[in-house]
Structures are given as C-alpha cells and as structure tokens.
Structure 1
C-alpha cells in the first residue's frame, strides 16, 4: 500500500486543521468543552434537570479542564458517517444496546428431541401440518400470549413486537413444507457455496431460533431467556398437540424441549455474578459467527474480520468490560479505536496485500513454518507502528498507548490467521505484536494492561484445558482474558479472519451462524459499523421501549 492513499486520511483531515504529517499543534484555544455539540447539549440538559429536581447534576466545568485538545469527530469505519464520542457511548447509543439485546434474547432450541417424545411417549403424529400449527401457536405464546388457561394476564404486543420464533434446517424437503413466514431460508440468505456447507453441517436437524422480547432481557437478565422460552414453548406444544398438561409424560416432554437448546453464552463464575446468555460467556467464535459481513459481502474477507472486531468491541469491550465490569464513563474511546477512522482498516488491507504478494493468496503459508509466520508478523506490526510515527494525527487519534497496542496487535493477528487459515497462528502473532511493541516503546498502556500479553505466547497453541483452548472457543471467561478492556475485539476478529480466509461458511457453530442471518432481527449484523453510526445519528429504532404503556 506504499503508493496508495492511506485509508485513515479522510478521518484525520476531518479531525484536525493541521496536515496529518505535521509534528505540532495548538492547545487551549478551541473553546473548551463548548466545541462539542454533544457536550453543550448535555450541559444544558443537566442544568435544567438540576433546577427541576433541586440536586446538582453533571457540570462540564467540574474536574479536569476539558477541551485543551481539538475535539475529534469519529468516522465509523467503511462508512461515511462521522459521530461525536459521546454518541458512541453504549448508554447513549441504542444500536449498540440492540446489538447486545438481539444476542442476549436469542436461544436456539431443537425440535427433534421434543418431536420424538411426542411421537414415542405420547403417541401423537408429527407432520409438516402440525409443525406449522405449533409455529403459529408459539408465535402467540413467545411474546407473552396465553393458551392453556383462560382469562390470564398477557403482555401488551406493542411492548414486545420484536418477539417471534422461526425455524431452519439442512433438509430442503422439510423446509419446503413449512410456512415461509416461520422460516430462516438458508438458500436465499447465503451464497450458494456457503449455503451448502451450512446445510451439510446442520443436517436434518430442525432448529428454532427463539427471540424472547428485548424488554424481558432488560428487565430480568440473559439467564431468564431460556426459562421464558422453555415455558412458552411448552405451552405452545401442549396447545398445538392437545396434550394433557398434568399427565406424567409431560415431564419427559418438558425435559426434552428444554434441553436440546443452545445459549449464546456459557455460565459465568460466581464472582462475576452472571448466568448464561451474558456477554462474558460468549465464545469468540460465536461472536464471529454472529457478525454477518461475509454472508452479504463474500468477496471482502477483510471487511468480515473488521466487522467482527467492531461487534466484539461494542459488546465485549463497551457493554461488558465498560459497563458490567466498570460502569460510568466506561471504555468508549478505548473500544472505538478498533472500529472508527479506518485505521485498523488500513493496517488489515496492508496485511492482505502482503499475504497475496508473498504467498499467492490466503492459507498458503504452512502454519508450522514459524520463521515465515514471524516474518509476516514483523512486517505487519512494523507497518502499523510506523504509521503512528509517520502520521502524528493517527497517534493523536489513538491517544492512548493501549489503543495503539490493541489495533496493531489486531492487524498482526488477523494477518497471521489469514495467511495460514489457523486462528491460533493469528493469536500467536497478536502476542508477537505486543511483545515487539513493548520493546519498541517501553510500555503498552496503563499499569497492568500488558499482563495477559506478556504471558500469552506460551499458551497460544495449547489445547489442554488447564493451559489453553482453540481460539474459536475461548472467550472473555478464559483465564487472563477477563482482566483488561481492549483485547476482546481483536480476539473476535482473529478466528473470523482464519475462517473467512479458508472460505468457511461459519467460524464455530453453524446453528448460530444461520440464526443471525435472519432479516427479522432489529439489528443488522451484516453492517455493524453502519448500524452503530445510525445509533450515533439517532436514526436507529430499537425494540423494548415502554412508550406503549406511558400516557401521552
């Protein structure tokens, strides 16, 4: 990319009056916090609230003097959307919230086991017609409708319009018999080659993608999702198949209906105080499968890796570590470094060019050739770090050392993954970048940031449970990974990069992959940065709002 315009130039020129290569700038001459439209809006709102409630509130003049630097807008990568940092905070951005809501409220429940129980234990026949009847019934019960008992309290549909159940399978003949309103159609939603891979992996299993109402996840928690789904599924089966709710066989049926299920996240340790389907339990491979860029843009593997990074940054680094584990101001600009201003974009496409010119394409580098893998890592990491030195505007954009460490390592890790087709090689390159970066600059960020990065090389290829795991099934729960923000986004992009380079239709789980291709979801997982940008512009329409039960 030596002769090409750097992908981050537009953002840098929008941020600063100086040229991106200039070494000097000015301070304390921009008008303080008043240069920010959002800060002015916040200050005015806070003053009104303080006057109304009689208790002081936010005041931009308290604490450190804000605004000594030029206030920077942020460009959402591979879009033309610019936004203020405040509008990318997960509490202020309803698109980020909905991305997490759509993941948390999803539970995948197989129909094979309950169907077998109905036929063998209860003596009922299961046909495409009865399946359609059940699906119509469960789309009544899942939002909060009653079926078995009369005059029961039900949920206002205007609050839970986002709740529904659809099915999918690798069995085209069966799917052809199902009412298309209830189908996630693999053949229509995926390129032909990806569709064939997915159908082969899924086989004849008939899987439900259950979307519990967004408001349920917000009012309760992720662990409630499976319970809500199980109760409403059971009621729908009892009604559709005319089962006697009190008979002993229902216990067998309930067990089978509840236990052929797949949550998005595993149970977290007690010290984290979170159950299943919470962000800390989501494997990186699952998050990579949830990101859908390569389904819609199959010829752009770089974009696929970058979109996975963006989704990981929003859910893992902003919502989970920035909210669940920290709170308040959170880690907004820490995470946004990975999905704004096309900086990581530039580094990743440089890496792709290098892979193609050196090896003739993706997955051509022998993963056992460590010398060559390290050479590639050396090159990509040196390029990333050099850009910070050559373009001070990029350095100022990523004003924290830990931001630069994350972005450089993510590019290096994605390079290793794409060159070999092996996610663990990418992870090893991540750690190579971190170690080289520390040698080059003396530190990687704030105290303790580099703890996991200094010991990670040793277990990057380990599969034994007390030492390591394949990268696809590691997650924020993995030892050392729950300690610091800024890593989890890159960790999401690395397995995604390996599998899109290989031409794989999914990273870790074909059922998860298909479930999030559903166009009925509120958040579009094929365009993560665009959706976050729409949230920043206040154009995104989320679910779970309570206005339907508020007068006026």
Structure 2
C-alpha cells in the first residue's frame, strides 16, 4: 500500500511536480536560437511595463475579490486539492437533503455519487453585480431563486386594457355618466373582483384573500386633471417614479387616455398559463363594470366583453408559432422592444442622448452604461437564457443557466463597459456616431480586440466565464450595447452584436463553440435589414418567436442590449410602449424592475419574499411530509 500523505504534503508534492515540469520546459526552450531568445525577452520586458496598468483596472480588483488569488496568475496550485463538492455549502446541503428525502419516501433522490465529480477546480462564489452580495452558483438557478421566478410571474400575470372605448359605449349606448366618483367606485370594486370576489350573484364560490393578495389593478394616464379627481391609491404616480424629464415625455405620449394595468393572481397564472391572464382580467373587469355601473342586457355585456378581451388590449406576449405553440403572455412571445420598457433601471436618470452624458463627466457616462448592464444582466439574460432557452426549450436545467449567470457575476461586464465610456468621453465630445457600417466596424474591431485581450490577460476572468457561450454572450452584449448607445440605432446595435460574434471574435479565437456561431448558418446578419414580416421587421418587433435569428445561449442578450442601448442612446423615455414602461414602475410589484440583480442576489441569500404562496391552505407540517403518501395501502371509502 502507498504511504498516507496529509493534505498539506499532497499540495506540496503537487507544487513541486509543477515546478519540475516548468523547469523541463525551460530546458527545452534553451535550445532556441539567440535571436528567438532576444525576441522572447523583449516581449517579457514589454509585458512588465503594463502590469501596473492592468492592476489599476477595476476588473483586477473584481477578480481578486472573487478568487482570493492573484488575477493575472495562470496556475492554480490547489488544483484537485480543493475538497470536491464539499467546498460548496449549498452542495453539502443538497447531499443531506437528498439522503433525508430518500429515507422518507423510500426512493433514491439527489446523490452526487452518481453524477460527474465536481470541485477539482474552485467552485467560485458569485458576487452579483455591484451590490456587494455574494451567492453560490446554484443559488442563481431559476428553480432555487424566488426572484427569478417572480420576474417571470410579474410579466406573465400583467395585461393592460384601455377604458376609453368602454366609457364611450357607456355614455352613448347606455346613457351612463362617467365621473371621478364613478371611476373611483369602479376601481374599488375592481380590487375586489381581481381576487375573484363575487359581485353579481349570491351563491358564488370565492377565493381566500390571502391566496390572491398579489391581485390588483391601477390606472395609467397622462392627464393631471384626471389624476386629481382619482383616489391616489388607484393610479401609478408617474411624476414620483420617473425623472421629471422622463415623466413629462411619458405623460405627453399617453395623453388623456385612461389605461388600467391588471395584475392577475400569481397562483391563478401558475395553475393555467400566460393566456389565462387576459381571460381572468377581462372577466373580472367586466364584472366590476356591471356592478359599478349597474348594467344589464346582453348587447351591453357583449360589447364590454369585446372591449376588454380584444379592443385596445396590450398583452405582454403574442401567440407563438406552430412548433413552439403557446398562448399569449408567455416568455417566447414578448417583443424585444418590450424588454427595455419592462426594465426600469434608467428611469431616475435625466432624459438625454447617451453622448450628452459623456460631455458632463466620466461618472455620468459610466452610470448610464452601468444601468444598461444592470437591466440586460438582471432581466434580459434571465428571460432569454434562463427561462426561454434553459427552461421552455431545453427542459429546465443545464448550460443556459450558467450562461445567464455570467451576466450576473461580479460586475465584470460593467468594468469593461465603463472603460469604454471613459474612452468615448475623451474622443467623441458629445456627437452621435453616424450609423454607417464602415465607421462602426472600426470601433467594433477595437471593442472585440479589447475584450479578447482582457480574457487572455486575466485567466481568472476566463475561468469565471468558463465556456465559449459565456464569452460569446458577453462579447455580443458589449458590441451591441456600445454600438446602439453611440448611434441611437437598434438596427446598428444588432448588426454590431452579430458581427462581433460571427466575425471579429471568430477571427480572433478561431472556433468559439456552438454559441460562437459554430451553428448551422449565420442568418443573424443577412436577414437583419429585411422588412418582410417572415424574414425581418423592426428590431423592436423581433422576439424569441422570430425564426430568422441566430439562436443560441450566446445571442439572446445582444438583442435586448441593442434595443435598450438604442433607447438610451437616442434619449428616449420608452422603447416600444410608454404605457408598458409606466406599468412596470408600479411599486406594489414584488420584483423591483429598477434593481433586478439586487432582487436576484437577495433571493440567493433567501431574503426575497415572492408572491403566490399557498401557506393559507396548507397544513402546518414538516416540509418532507408534504405531498408524500405515507399509508399507500390505506383503504379509501367510496
């Protein structure tokens, strides 16, 4: 039998073997010619001049905090000696839980013994954005993270209806008067019916209010006169939630129209699907109208039902095409232009084109760029990579989840983007770059080269974004976001993202994996400028359901970055719909769409409380007893 070595002795022996191997390699190099040796020394001397510069970058400190080691060092001296899965607190918890479940239910459960060995390398912690919260990788999985679930729920349970047509019908056909008093009474009734409270008949089953406490409705209007007559609990306060410049632009766009945003109970939407959202909202809204305005008659009710189901109704997502068919309000049907409207990260910033931020100071430009990264990383990446590709399309677990976490991790993305903001502030001097490809191509090549070199200089960053799809996703997002913000054009942004992935990155690294355009074709760029509906359309009208994209885990973020970046680049208050922009500023929502990565981080440390819980109707028992049949042979009386 071999000698038993302590952990310290094994590490020491491992380091000695690595040093011996390095010495052998140096011996081989001694056979180089004098000219080759001089060239190598010159390269080494040149590299030493830039070490201090690299150490001064924000990304150096970020990597140092994550790894607890020298970010520029290529060798992990503790490789294979890190303790396997036991270095992860979460995985140790999973092991214990799997054993308890297996004993309790009499069937095997989670067991690392049958899985691929993990933990030869460091299972690095994940600082989320710049919020100062560190979670484990497993905590960012959508099944483990209540904030990601709530993000999904809050979008899918939202539908917006216009009341103008219904009010006109009331006045013209029924002779009813619409006043602030009737509108307030209708809104009070609507809060009751949204939770499935009965108003029309005596013998109606009703729902426990604790189960539907997340169901409500609020008015959206741009008219100060209308808002002055309303109970302030019943409308979204645009002036309080947005920067004055943005509030003014949004109110002018919405005008005197009255919209109502409905939040269907999370539990109802989960039991059905996104399509149920519109039906629930239409039914409860119709019942509130009938009760508040004392209506009767089939012709009136049918007109109301049509108005609330079909006329001027905004669903968060359209129906999906045949091979992926789902109803409305599902993730795959959300137009790309709605994503920037759902994101709220920029709403407290002054309304001005991005290049004007650059003329103020470096901090203002970096702040705007950081807000874009916060929204893309915390919302767009979760919707596309985690929920669509990783859940709807792939079956619930796997690689797409880890690609999405690269958008959450460590502030590395913001560090690179902030450096570009500083460069832009020096050289652009407040002028939008013309949306011409020959100009943008030069900048993109610089961007791609810079990011590629950053990965090559920082082995720790390459290890953090360990897969080709991770790096591709970051590259495409940076290319699309920077180009869109500098030109104000979403088309140019998406063009830039595709070029960065398909050409510049591929030329630098050759094969970049299946996400880096090693896919069947490169359809992203050639179809981009087509306006035939089956091929192209406005970039804001694209979506997950649009067939002529280059689809992979590396491509989703760039579409949102192109649209959101262009919105901020133009100095617009919204992207596709001012009503949707206001709807997701609602402070009653459990998920904070202004600070998405903060919510996800809080959920990772189990400090985020989601909606849709069933505690009010479940027994107070041990978690392992729920849903498990103890007495399987128990006789059931019929």
TM exceeding 0.5 = yes
Matched residues in 1 for 2:176 and 2:222: separation?
24
Question: How many Å apart are 1:490 and its aligned residue?
Answer: 2.5
Matched residues in 2 for 1:23 and 1:131: separation?
67
Matched residues in 1 for 2:548 and 2:470: separation?
18
Question: Superposition pairs for residues 24-423 of structure 1, below 5 Å?
Answer: 24-25=75-76, 26-244=78-296, 246-259=297-310, 260-298=312-350, 300-310=367-377, 311-330=379-398, 331-361=400-430, 364-368=432-436, 370-423=437-490
Question: How many Å apart are 1:488 and its aligned residue?
Answer: 1.4
CA, structure 1 residues 447+487, in 2 after alignment: closer, same or farther (shift >3 Å)? closer
Question: How many Å apart are 1:340 and its aligned residue?
Answer: 1.3
> Does the 8 Å CA contact 1:437/1:443 hold for their aligned counterparts?
no
Matched residues in 2 for 1:445 and 1:2: separation?
31
Matched residues in 2 for 1:452 and 1:184: separation?
47
> Does the 8 Å CA contact 1:43/1:58 hold for their aligned counterparts?
yes
CA, structure 1 residues 208+5, in 2 after alignment: closer, same or farther (shift >3 Å)? farther
CA, structure 1 residues 448+356, in 2 after alignment: closer, same or farther (shift >3 Å)? closer
CA displacement 1:40-82 (0-9 Å, x = unmatched) = 0000000000011111111112132111111111111121111
CA, structure 1 residues 412+89, in 2 after alignment: closer, same or farther (shift >3 Å)? same
The one of 549, 552, 555 equivalent to 1:487 is 555
Classify the secondary structure of the residue corresponding to 2:58: coil
CA, structure 1 residues 215+254, in 2 after alignment: closer, same or farther (shift >3 Å)? same
> Does the 8 Å CA contact 2:218/2:260 hold for their aligned counterparts?
yes
TM-score by length of 2: 0.83
TM-score by length of 1: 0.96
CA displacement 1:484-537 (0-9 Å, x = unmatched) = 223212321221111112221111110100000111111100001101001101
Question: How many Å apart are 1:354 and its aligned residue?
Answer: 2.8
> Does the 8 Å CA contact 2:318/2:333 hold for their aligned counterparts?
yes
Query: Using CA pairs below 8 Å that are at least 6 residues apart, which structure has the higher relative contact order?
Result: 1
Tell me, yes or no, if structure 1 residue 520 matches structure 2 residue 588. yes
CA, structure 1 residues 436+342, in 2 after alignment: closer, same or farther (shift >3 Å)? same
> Does the 8 Å CA contact 1:304/1:497 hold for their aligned counterparts?
no
Question: How many Å apart are 1:6 and its aligned residue?
Answer: 3.0
For 2:60, the equivalent position in structure 1 comes to 9
Larger Rg: 2
Matched residues in 2 for 1:414 and 1:309: separation?
9
Gaps of 5+ in 1: none
Tell me, yes or no, if structure 1 residue 440 matches structure 2 residue 508. yes
CA, structure 1 residues 6+144, in 2 after alignment: closer, same or farther (shift >3 Å)? farther
448-457 or 295-304: bigger deviation: 448-457
Question: Superposition pairs for residues 433-512 of structure 1, below 5 Å?
Answer: 433-434=500-501, 435-446=503-514, 450-451=518-519, 454-481=522-549, 483-512=551-580
CA RMSD of aligned residues (A): 1.8
Question: How many Å apart are 1:316 and its aligned residue?
Answer: 1.9
Classify the secondary structure of the residue corresponding to 2:160: strand
> Does the 8 Å CA contact 1:304/1:496 hold for their aligned counterparts?
no
CA displacement 1:126-150 (0-9 Å, x = unmatched) = 1111111100000100011110011
Matched residues in 2 for 1:188 and 1:221: separation?
33
Classify the secondary structure of the residue corresponding to 1:409: helix
Question: How many Å apart are 1:216 and its aligned residue?
Answer: 1.1
Matched residues in 1 for 2:60 and 2:129: separation?
12
Matched residues in 1 for 2:496 and 2:54: separation?
26
CA, structure 1 residues 342+6, in 2 after alignment: closer, same or farther (shift >3 Å)? farther
Between Structure 1 and Structure 2, how many residues are aligned? 549
Question: How many Å apart are 1:247 and its aligned residue?
Answer: 2.9
Matched residues in 2 for 1:484 and 1:457: separation?
14
Matched residues in 2 for 1:217 and 1:431: separation?
36
Question: Superposition pairs for residues 525-536 of structure 1, below 5 Å?
Answer: 525-536=593-604
Matched residues in 2 for 1:14 and 1:364: separation?
37
